Amino acid sequence: MAMRILIAEDEESLTLLLRYNLEAEGYEVDAVARGDEAELRLREQVPDLVLLDWMLPGLSGIELCRRIRLRRETERLPVIMLTARGEEGDRVRGLATGADDYVTKPFSVPELLARVRALLRRAKPGRVANLLAAGDIELDRETHRVRRAGKELHLGPTEFKLLEFLMQSPGRVFSREQLLDGVWGRDVYIDERTVDVHVGRLRKAISRPRSPDPIRTVRGAGYALDETYAPPSPPSPET
Ligand code: CA
């Protein structure tokens, strides 16, 4: 069953962008533009996660978050607060809003998706698939194990996160900047060439003789995990 996400946001273009990307990741999305409407919706049905804008007509996000925490049915509901840069940034940090996480607008969509996944994984460990697969590579998020064609590979922590990030969207090309945001986080200032270094290490760690390179370099654009690389493998006996 798909995970349900409620978006409470009065900026229509942002709601559209979020809805599009969340649905592409397999989430079921419901959206409202007012805080009081969001509260009603939460009384009808409790979703798996809420993306809650700080400034909303009807009822502010901060007040709604407080009420969410007071109700027994929603006291543990994962909430990510969306805030505007500047006016609220520092206050959000200082206030005990009860939100599990918050992002500052404008934010990168891949980063927000990563936070949604991380929060759902923390809150609903049983409901999020921990095993990612692409071609002959398998990645287990829970045990942090990676195997290629059944053989265990040893990756450093950054290479693991990089591979996990790429495997979440096979075929999609990510710029160095998007990889930096998604893997290292938006607040970390490192050189984009660092991405190349880690992609190089990842390539080395997952390479196997006579097997194609699953990571594609797209000149001028970035990197992608090539979903078509896997050679048809003969059926192998169960081990
Ligand atoms: Ca707003």
Q: Domain ranges for the chain, please list them.
A: 4-123, 131-225
Give me the residues near ligand 1 (ion), CB cutoff below 5 Å: 10, 53, 55
Q: What is the pTM of this model?
A: 0.55
**Centre of ligand 1 from the C-alpha of residue 85, in Å:** 12
CATH of domain 4-123: 3.40.50.2300
pLDDT at 24: 83
pLDDT in tens, 158-217: 999 999 999 988 888 999 999 998 898 877 788 888 999 999 999 999 988 878 888 999
Give yes or no for a cis peptide into 170 (omega within 30° of 0): no
pLDDT at 238: 46
pLDDT at 201: 96
**Centre of ligand 1 from the C-alpha of residue 197, in Å:** 39
**Centre of ligand 1 from the C-alpha of residue 105, in Å:** 10
**Cα–Cα distance, 18 to 236 (Å, whole number):** 42
**Centre of ligand 1 from the C-alpha of residue 150, in Å:** 49
User: What stretches in the chain show pLDDT beneath 50?
Assistant: 94, 230-239
**Centre of ligand 1 from the C-alpha of residue 70, in Å:** 23
Q: Which residue has the tokens 């809003």?
A: 97
**Centre of ligand 1 from the C-alpha of residue 25, in Å:** 24
123-142: buried (b, 16+ CB within 10 Å) or exposed (e) per residue? eeeeebeeebebbbbbbebe
**Cα–Cα distance, 233 to 135 (Å, whole number):** 10
pLDDT at 233: 44
pLDDT at 235: 47
pLDDT at 190: 83
**Cα–Cα distance, 35 to 225 (Å, whole number):** 40
User: In the chain, pLDDT over 90 holds for what percent of residues?
Assistant: 46
Q: Which residue has the tokens 């195997």?
A: 147
Q: Which helix (H) or strand (E) holds 120?
A: helix 109-123
Closest Cα partner for 79 from 25, 133, 120, 35?
120
How are the residues of the chain apportioned to helix, strand and coil, as percentages rounded to the nearest 5?
40, 20, 40
For 131-225, CATH number out of 1.10.260.40, 3.40.605.10, 3.40.50.800, 1.10.10.10 equals: 1.10.10.10
CA distances from 157 to 6, 30, 79, 187, 200 (A): 32, 35, 27, 18, 14
**Centre of ligand 1 from the C-alpha of residue 54, in Å:** 6
Rg (CA), the chain: 20
pLDDT at 231: 45
**Centre of ligand 1 from the C-alpha of residue 43, in Å:** 22
**Centre of ligand 1 from the C-alpha of residue 203, in Å:** 43
pLDDT at 92: 58
**Cα–Cα distance, 133 to 149 (Å, whole number):** 11
∠ CA 119-123-129, rounded to 5°: 80
**Centre of ligand 1 from the C-alpha of residue 160, in Å:** 36
**Centre of ligand 1 from the C-alpha of residue 171, in Å:** 34
pLDDT at 239: 43
